[in-house]
């Protein structure tokens, strides 16, 4: 019997049922460390019914390589298309810049595509992150992503499952590890300017050829700065980047949230977590296009 101690949305109830019936893969955004503890969160997700927990960081690594390739050949400025709010704002309010938007999928879409290719189309891909606009992006990419929920919603689901004794009993020690695939250095992807920082593109991209910005009020200003010397525009809509996203639970300062992400990245660089980082060449089997 389900005890309605607390209300959760119909979408979350449906997801909890899906977790019992189908193979579900969590596509976890690395900003999770702002709200949840590593590695405890992996075990909690498995207890909810996820068969695999992957981090979006592997998709970020694939995306970085694609941007490097594009920047080597193009003569036009390239606007990073990782943030769906930036893409939507440019399409609706600043259409003259649409031509500069990269035709490269976001980490959520690329990771979903990759998981379905490597583990099978029957896997249900559930993005979990700080972003509300990802819900629209997931609806536009139903083939790749089945659900997009926020950290706030994940917390609701966990509380609801606990209250209703819906957790699965797990004994396997490996449940503390990420399943394939993840990456270390892209764990800072949710921070402002991190795409340019993690792209390893010093040979093709200098600081003065890059515009990095965050926050809605800086979007238009950054677009106006685009000129023939600019090669790459790395913008995130939320203040501070995804760590300032509306689906984050913590109300700590952006600085504190940012520190948590960097600390997590530094820790993971020292301690090898999980067993398989994932090889770049695997990405050749999927499309990296945005649409």
For residue 215, state whether it binds ligand SF4 (rule: CB under 6 A): no
Q: Which two tokens stand for residue 203?
A: 């040979």
For residue 210, state whether it binds ligand SF4 (rule: CB under 6 A): no
Candidates 60, 194, 199, 236; binder of ligand SF4 (CB under 6 A) is 236
DSSP reduced 3-state for 16? helix
Distance CA 7, CA 73 (A): 52
Distance CA 80, CA 189 (A): 12
Candidates 238, 261, 268, 273; binder of ligand SF4 (CB under 6 A) is 238
Report, in Å, the least distance between residue 52 CB and ligand SF4.
Answer: 23
Between residues 15 and 89, which has the closer beta carbon with respect to ligand SF4?
Answer: 89
Number of residues in the chain = 291
Residue with tokens 């699965």: 168
For residue 133, state whether it binds ligand SF4 (rule: CB under 6 A): yes
The residues that bridge with 247 in the sheet, in sequence order, are none
For residue 242, state whether it binds ligand SF4 (rule: CB under 6 A): yes
Strand 52-55 relative to strand 24-28, pairing: parallel
Candidates 85, 150, 186, 210; binder of ligand SF4 (CB under 6 A) is 85
Candidates 53, 60, 63, 83; binder of ligand SF4 (CB under 6 A) is 83
For residue 188, state whether it binds ligand SF4 (rule: CB under 6 A): no
Q: Which two tokens stand for residue 290?
A: 């945005």
Helix (H) or strand (E) holding 14: helix 10-21
Q: Which two tokens stand for residue 164?
A: 């209703």
Between residues 102 and 161, which has the closer beta carbon with respect to ligand SF4?
Answer: 102
For ligand SF4, the binding residues (CB under 6 A) are 83, 85, 130-131, 133, 236-238, 241-242, 245
């Amino acid at each position: 019997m389900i005890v309605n101690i607390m209300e959760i949305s119909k979408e979350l109830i449906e997801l909890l049922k899906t977790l019992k019936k189908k193979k579900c893969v969590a596509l976890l955004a690395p900003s999770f460390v702002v709200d949840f503890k590593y590695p405890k969160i992996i075990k909690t997700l498995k207890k909810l019914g996820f068969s695999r927990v992957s981090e979006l960081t592997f998709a970020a690594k694939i995306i970085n390589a694609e941007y490097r390739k594009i920047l080597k050949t193009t003569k036009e400025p390239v606007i990073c298309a990782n943030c769906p709010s930036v893409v939507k704002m440019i399409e609706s309010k600043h259409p003259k810049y649409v031509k500069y938007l990269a035709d490269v999928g976001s980490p959520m879409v690329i990771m979903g595509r990759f998981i379905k290719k490597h583990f099978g189309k029957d896997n249900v891909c559930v993005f979990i992150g700080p972003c509300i606009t990802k819900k629209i992006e997931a609806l536009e990419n139903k083939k790749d992503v089945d659900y997009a929920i926020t950290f706030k919603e994940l917390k609701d689901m966990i509380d609801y499952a606990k209250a209703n004794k819906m957790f699965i009993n797990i004994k396997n020690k490996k449940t503390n590890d990420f399943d394939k695939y993840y990456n270390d250095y892209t764990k800072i992807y949710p921070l402002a300017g991190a795409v340019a920082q993690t792209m390893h593109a010093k040979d093709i991209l200098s600081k003065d050829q890059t515009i990095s910005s965050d926050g809605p009020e800086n979007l238009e200003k950054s677009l106006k700065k685009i000129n023939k010397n600019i090669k790459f525009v790395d913008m995130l809509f939320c203040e501070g980047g995804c760590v300032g996203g509306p689906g984050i639970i913590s109300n700590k300062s952006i600085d504190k949230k940012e520190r948590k992400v960097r600390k997590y990245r530094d820790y993971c660089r020292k301690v090898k977590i999980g067993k398989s980082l994932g090889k770049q060449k695997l990405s050749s089997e999927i499309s990296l296009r945005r649409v």
